[in-house]
Amino acid sequence: MTIPEDTITQHLDTLLTSSEPGATMHHLHVIAAPTGAVGPLGLPDEKQLDVTIYAIAPTEDVSVEEFIGKVVMAAAAEAHDKGTRVLFAGLSQEAYTVSPMDDLGLRLVREGRLSEHPDAAEVTIVYAAAADGRRWRGRRWLTGPRAGTAEPIEVLAGRPQPGEGQGVTAAPLIRRLVGRP
């Protein structure tokens, strides 16, 4: 069971553009459907799709990756409790990047302080997966010389590759949420 491409595109666009510089806000979009909600073409009845949007704002005393992981697991439990199957899940994370990465950047990454690099730029990174095996990733710059620009969203097919989440550490959890390895 899958959902229409335009529905997926709409959620990917929202995930990619819902961040603001300095907000440190992450978002999770989950689209689920009751097991029997399939129409004549194998698509679920769009009126029966259950869309849940989570705004994730961890505090400084909590690991961002750990908190996001807990939210993804809570979304899985919620879908199970409702008796629905997750068909699509997309996560946006705000992060810092330096391009090209230099020795100072590598040291600051290890120390968890990349935002202190003089050439650091804040980006929104999106990673999404569907129950049919497709995955998507994209990036939009919030600050720096490329502020306001975005990479085209890539569609990924085939076996998941290490690092395909471009820094979204919860990428494997997003795939598991939709029932994919």
- In DSSP notation, 79-145 reads HHHHTEEEEEEEEEEEEEE-SS--HHHHHHHHTT-GGGSTT-EEEEEEEEEETTS-EEEEEEE-SST
pLDDT at 40: 67
Q: What is the pLDDT of residue 42?
A: 67
Q: What percent of the chain has pLDDT over 70?
A: 97
Query: Does residue 49 contact residue 32 with C-beta atoms inside 8 Å?
Result: yes
Q: Which residue has the tokens 């819902």?
A: 18
CA atoms within 13 A on the CB side of 20: 2
Q: Please tell me what DSSP assigns to residue 153.
A: P
Single out the residue of 177, 156, 180 nearest to residue 79, CA to CA: 177
Q: Is residue 32 scored above 70 in pLDDT?
A: yes
pLDDT band, very low/low/confident/very high, at 45 (cuts 50, 70, 90): confident
What digits encode the pLDDT tens for the residues 48-104?
889 999 999 877 777 888 899 999 999 999 999 999 999 999 999 999 999 899 999
HSE-CB at 16 with a 13 A cutoff on CA atoms is 21
pLDDT band at 25 (very low <50, low <70, confident <90, very high): confident
